């Protein structure tokens, strides 16, 4: 696991405006992304307070040397795939150098300041070209809640506690936060209807997930051992895996969800590194009494000791009426990564266990992360019990599922005593009417 070092020092302050006390991007975070400054083309940047450091400009200004320069060169592109491929060594060297450059008292403050763009004027893009996108199902409370609809007495299928269940998602339709989402059409069939019809989705839902960016890949046919799996992770983001529940119910047998998910997924733009999250590692919560032990290929002592995360995850909604009335977004759910039944290392080890190759820029999703309590459910399917119990919003509106004009916002926050808390930035999209 990544060690705590000088870059995590809570006493560290930055000369960049807005960095100290920033809810997402204090100097202890330093996430990477792809941005366009006004009138400029795509380039990599680092979020710091209210600014974005232009990595290519900083490289050209001679601010990096050695492994940090190697990392900055790989990142000086319109995607971060090459940077992801380098792995942890150069990434850590770049982080250490960025921390020194952006800290109060930096000798190169003026040179670095010349490479800063105000974040407000920048456009954010997908950070990498996504080769394949895999969505897991490791949120055990979500799996239980969904399973309960079909099997009240035995909600989890027999494989759930043995297999980190996952499936292939659609990579092409992943979009960055801020991109509107078109309500899909599809085949819908009411349980009592004789035949399906084709029309706009009537049960549009979000799913609150952690996204995982793959760094160095593995060759086809060469599994990654669970103890080495963390070295294949480049970072993390928020992921909203939009779901059309009515399309899903009719299409998903026998091969799983397809068009009910492939119309779009939204991710947050900033890649939060494993280094930035090092202070927020926790032991994998013990399995409930009676649960089977993971098979040996999924079991690593260090991973069990410190391979999980404590990150709070939040869903908010902002309807058109709320916007018009000047009401702030309303929290629908507060959950977190504690509710993952499998660690990220277990997901990576399982994914490659049959020989499947992962590549830099592949994206994994955790699956919906619901807390066990009613205020922490990661989808409307759960919160409204499939639409039976509408939620009441500020202003008196209700929602069974999402309506046109609704914006859904995901946020993440990692905090613990003795560490400076960091966030992921927003993952937001607004629903457009069906065509």
Nearer to a copy of itself among residue 150 and residue 301 (C-beta): 150
Nearer to a copy of itself among residue 127 and residue 164 (C-beta): 164
- Considering the rule CB under 8 A, would residue 365 count as an interface residue with a copy of itself? no
Length in residues, the chain: 435
Of 37-45, 328-336, 357-365, 389-397, the window that binds a copy of itself (rule: CB under 8 A) is 357-365
Could you tell me where the DSSP H helices lie in 139-179?
140-150
Instruction: Exactly one of 142, 232, 330, 339 is catalytic; name it.
Output: 142
Of 2-10, 204-212, 247-255, 408-416, the window that binds a copy of itself (rule: CB under 8 A) is 247-255
Q: Which residue of 148, 185, 338, 385 would you call a contact of a copy of itself, by CB under 8 A?
A: 185
DSSP codes joined into one string, 266-284: EE-S-BB-TTTTGGGEEPP
CA angle (225 as vertex; 224, 229 as ends), nearest 5: 70
3-state secondary structure of 206: coil
Contact 124, 141 (CB under 8 A): no
Around Cβ 398, how many Cβ atoms within 10 Å? 10
**CA-based nearest residue to 427, from 242, 165, 160:** 242
Q: Which residue of 6, 65, 157, 193 would you call a contact of a copy of itself, by CB under 8 A?
A: 157
* CA 17 centroid distance within chain: 27
Structure tokens at 45: 């940047």
Q: Residue 93 — φ and ψ, nearest 5°?
A: -65, -40
User: How far is residue 380's CA from residue 377's CA, in Å, rounded to a whole number?
Assistant: 8
Nearer to a copy of itself among residue 91 and residue 170 (C-beta): 170
Kindly provide the residue ranges of all beta strands, DSSP E only, lying in 80-207, ordered along the sequence: 116-118, 123-125, 133-136, 166-169, 174-176, 181-182, 185-188, 197-200, 204-205
Q: Which residue of 215, 235, 264, 423 would you call a contact of a copy of itself, by CB under 8 A?
A: 264
Contact 211, 363 (CB under 8 A): yes
Contact 396, 410 (CB under 8 A): no
Around Cβ 158, how many Cβ atoms within 10 Å? 8
Of 27-35, 120-128, 348-356, 419-427, the window that binds a copy of itself (rule: CB under 8 A) is 348-356
- Considering the rule CB under 8 A, would residue 418 count as an interface residue with a copy of itself? no
Kindly provide the residue ranges of all beta strands, DSSP E only, lying in 25-128, ordered along the sequence: 32-36, 43-48, 51-54, 116-118, 123-125
- Considering the rule CB under 8 A, would residue 386 count as an interface residue with a copy of itself? no
142 part of the active site:
yes
Q: Which residue of 223, 279, 307, 365 would you call a contact of a copy of itself, by CB under 8 A?
A: 223
3-state secondary structure of 435: coil
- Considering the rule CB under 8 A, would residue 263 count as an interface residue with a copy of itself? yes
Of 77-85, 231-239, 249-257, 397-405, the window that binds a copy of itself (rule: CB under 8 A) is 249-257
Count of residues in contact with a copy of itself, rule CB under 8 A: 66
- Considering the rule CB under 8 A, would residue 192 count as an interface residue with a copy of itself? no
Q: Which residue of 77, 106, 123, 250 would you call a contact of a copy of itself, by CB under 8 A?
A: 250
Q: Which residue of 202, 310, 357, 397 would you call a contact of a copy of itself, by CB under 8 A?
A: 357
CB of 433 to a copy of itself, least distance (A): 11
Contact 360, 234 (CB under 8 A): yes
Of 11-19, 75-83, 158-166, 306-314, the window that binds a copy of itself (rule: CB under 8 A) is 158-166
- Considering the rule CB under 8 A, would residue 210 count as an interface residue with a copy of itself? no
- Considering the rule CB under 8 A, would residue 373 count as an interface residue with a copy of itself? no
User: How far is residue 98's CA from residue 278's CA, in Å, rounded to a whole number?
Assistant: 17
Contact 17, 116 (CB under 8 A): no
CB of 123 to a copy of itself, least distance (A): 17
CB of 259 to a copy of itself, least distance (A): 4
- Considering the rule CB under 8 A, would residue 169 count as an interface residue with a copy of itself? yes
User: How far is residue 212's CA from residue 239's CA, in Å, rounded to a whole number?
Assistant: 9
Nearer to a copy of itself among residue 273 and residue 430 (C-beta): 430
Nearer to a copy of itself among residue 135 and residue 314 (C-beta): 135
Known catalytic residues are 142
Give the interface with a copy of itself as residue ranges (CB under 8 A): 131-132, 134, 137, 147, 157, 159, 162-163, 165-173, 175, 182, 184-187, 189, 195-198, 201, 220-223, 244, 247, 250-260, 262-264, 292, 295-297, 350-351, 353-359, 362, 432, 435
């Amino acid at each position: 696991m990544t060690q705590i070092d000088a870059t995590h020092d809570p006493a560290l302050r930055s000369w960049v405006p807005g960095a100290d006390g920033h809810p997402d991007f204090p100097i202890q975070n330093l996430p990477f992304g792809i941005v366009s400054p006004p009138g400029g083309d795509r380039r990599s940047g680092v979020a710091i307070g209210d600014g974005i450091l232009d990595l290519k400009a900083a490289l050209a200004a001679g601010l990096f040397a050695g492994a940090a320069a190697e990392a900055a060169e790989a990142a000086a592109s319109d995607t971060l795939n090459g940077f992801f491929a380098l792995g942890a060594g150069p990434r850590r060297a770049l982080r250490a150098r960025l921390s020194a450059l952006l800290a109060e008292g930096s000798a190169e403050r003026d040179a670095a300041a010349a490479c800063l763009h105000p974040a407000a004027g920048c456009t954010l893009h997908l950070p990498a070209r996504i080769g394949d996108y895999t969505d897991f199902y490791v949120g055990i409370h979500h799996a239980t809640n969904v399973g309960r609809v079909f099997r009240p007495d035995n909600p989890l299928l027999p494989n759930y506690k043995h297999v980190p269940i996952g499936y292939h998602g659609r990579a092409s339709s992943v979009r960055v936060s801020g991109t509107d989402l078109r309500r899909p059409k599809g085949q819908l069939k009411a349980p009592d209807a004789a035949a399906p019809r084709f029309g706009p989705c009537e049960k549009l839902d979000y799913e609150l997930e952690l996204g995982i960016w793959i760094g160095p890949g593995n060759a086809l046919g060469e599994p990654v051992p669970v103890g080495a799996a963390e070295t294949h992770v480049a970072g993390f983001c928020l992921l909203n895996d939009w779901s059309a529940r009515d399309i899903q119910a009719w299409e998903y047998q026998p091969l799983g969800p397809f068009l009910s998910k492939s119309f779009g997924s939204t991710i947050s733009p900033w890649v939060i590194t494993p280094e930035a999250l090092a202070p927020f590692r926790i032991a994998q919560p013990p399995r409930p009494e009676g649960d089977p032990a993971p098979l040996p290929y999924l079991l690593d002592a260090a991973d069990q000791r410190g391979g999980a995360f404590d990150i709070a995850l939040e869903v908010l909604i902002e309807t058109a009426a709320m916007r018009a009335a000047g009401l702030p977004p309303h929290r629908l759910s507060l959950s977190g990564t504690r509710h993952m039944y499998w660690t990220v290392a277990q997901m990576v080890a399982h994914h490659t266990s049959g020989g499947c190759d992962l590549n830099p820029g592949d994206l994994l999703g955790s699956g919906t992360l619901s807390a066990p309590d009613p205020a922490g459910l990661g989808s409307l399917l759960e919160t409204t019990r499939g639409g039976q119990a509408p939620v009441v919003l500020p202003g008196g509106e209700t929602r069974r599922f999402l309506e046109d004009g609704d914006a859904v916002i995901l946020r993440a926050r990692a905090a613990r005593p003795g560490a400076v808390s960091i966030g992921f930035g927003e993952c937001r999209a607004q629903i457009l009417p069906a065509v």
